[in-house]
Amino acid sequence: MTIAIRPARPDDLPLIGQFIHDLADYEKLAHEVRFDPELLGQHLFGPHPKAEVVIGEIDGEAQGFALFFHNFSTFEGKPGIYLEDLFVRPAARGSGLGKALLAHLAALALERGCARFEWWVLDWNEPAIGFYRKLGARPMDEWTVMRLDGAALAQLAAEAATVSG
């Protein structure tokens, strides 16, 4: 068995879309998936990419992916890598591909001078939490994730018009 990690190419876009849908199904969030494939392609492969993807292959067959982007730590004064999505097809779990994808991103973080490599995991996903802990990852229990989207995002953005500049 040969595991390989490679950067995604524009012709991988249908595969990336399928991995996103498969991940959403696993996370019981299929109803949340609403990306436009063309727009996703622009954000991943356009002139100013917003995120990157690596594809994990076993014996030349794509079996998983990781989608990530850079964030920044003001305390460290350095960038970090934020893993948005990691997915390995069920038949390939236990093969070492998930660990290989994470190890690839950890090496990339160090190569790029990053201080951190971080991600979120659903609190019910005990298999993933256990896997991440075995790799040395630690939960950041003292932090609460906050989000603005939809109408709340639009409402706060409308406040920008009232700020004098």
Side-by-side strand order, sheet with 78-88:
3-7, 52-58, 61-73, 78-88, 116-119
- How many domains are there within the chain? 1
Q: Is the pLDDT of residue 138 over 90?
A: yes
Question: What pLDDT score does 161 carry?
Answer: 80
Residues 91-120 have a mean pLDDT of 97
Nearest to 136 by CA among 97, 90, 89, 99: 99
pLDDT at 164 > cutoff 60: no
pTM > 0.75: yes
Q: What is the pLDDT of residues 144-155, one digit of tens each?
A: 999 999 999 999
Catalytic one among 68, 82, 117, 132?
A: 132
Respond yes or no: is residue 132 known to be catalytic.
Answer: yes
At 63-77, the pLDDT tens digits run 999 999 999 999 999
The count of C-alpha atoms lying within 13 angstroms of the C-alpha of 36, restricted to the half-sphere facing its C-beta, is 4
When computed from its CA atoms, the radius of gyration of the chain, rounded to whole angstroms, is: 17
- The CATH number linked to 60 is 3.40.630.30
Contacts of 43 (CB under 8 A, 6+ apart): 49, 50, 51
Q: What angle do CA 150, 153, 155 make, to 5 degrees?
A: 105
Does residue 91 carry a pLDDT above 60? Answer: yes
Give me the domain span that covers residue 39: 3-162
Q: How far apart are CA 165 and CA 162, in angstroms?
A: 9
- Whole-number percent of the chain with pLDDT over 90: 95
Q: Can you say whether residue 75 is alpha, beta or left, with left for phi > 0 and alpha for psi between -120 and 50 degrees?
A: alpha
Which among 70, 73, 63 has a CA at the least distance from the CA of 105? 70
